[in-house]
Each structure stands twice: as C-alpha cells, then as structure tokens.
Amino acid sequence: MRPSGMAAYAKRTETRSAVYSYENQPEKLDQTLENIFREHPKAWEFFMIQAPSYIKVRIYWVMSGKQEATKLSRLDKLIEACEEGKRLY
C-alpha cells in the first residue's frame, strides 16, 4: 500500500465500519417471531431442513420489515409456504 493509502487507513474509525446492510443481516428471528413460527411444527421442521443459505435469506426478508405488521405479514407468508412444503423465491 502506498503512504497515502496507509494514512487514510490509519484515520478510519469503527463508527464507520459495518454500516452496510449486508454486514448487519440478522442471523436469527426475534424470539417472539420464532415462537410464533414454532407454533406450526410442520412449517418449522420444513424450514429447518432447508439449506442454510435459504434460511439466512428468508430470516433477513422477515426481519428487514420496518414495521412489526410487515414482519408478521412476511412471517405468515413464510409459514404458509412451509406448511405446504414450498419454498419462497
């Protein structure tokens, strides 16, 4: 690295780190939402046997809703699909 790059790197702050959405994706559902999901054992079992990449994307989709109503609506759609043995795309 050149001196100018080293100087810029030295000036960085942690407050500017991990600010992108892909760096802050939730790894699991909120406990409340997970409890709702677990009330549907067939859907929960189907969801948990899916590939980790699918689970990660669907959790992010549910948790990225800004309003609680949006999160619940998305969770309902996910539960419905999982009970039917289908994946959402």
* Count of the separate structural domains present in the chain: 1
Instruction: Note down the domain range covering 74.
Output: 27-89
Q: Residue 6 burial by CB count (10 A; 0-12/13-18/19+): exposed, middle or buried?
A: exposed
Structure tokens at 24: 């802050």
Check whether 22 has a pLDDT greater than 80: no
Which single residue is written with the structure tokens 């790197």?
A: 9
| Structure-model confidence comparison of residues 50 and 5, the more confident one | 50
User: How does residue 10 score in pLDDT terms, banded at 50, 70 and 90?
Assistant: confident
Please report whether residue 17 resides in a domain. no
User: How does residue 14 score in pLDDT terms, banded at 50, 70 and 90?
Assistant: confident
Check whether 70 has a pLDDT greater than 70: yes
pTM comes to 0.75
Please report whether residue 21 resides in a domain. no
Please report whether residue 18 resides in a domain. no
* Residue-level pLDDT at 36: 97
**What's the whole-number mean pLDDT along residues 26-31?**
88
**How far apart (Å, rounded) are the C-alpha atoms in residues 37 and 72?**
10
* Residue-level pLDDT at 15: 73
C-alpha 39: how far from its chain's center? 20
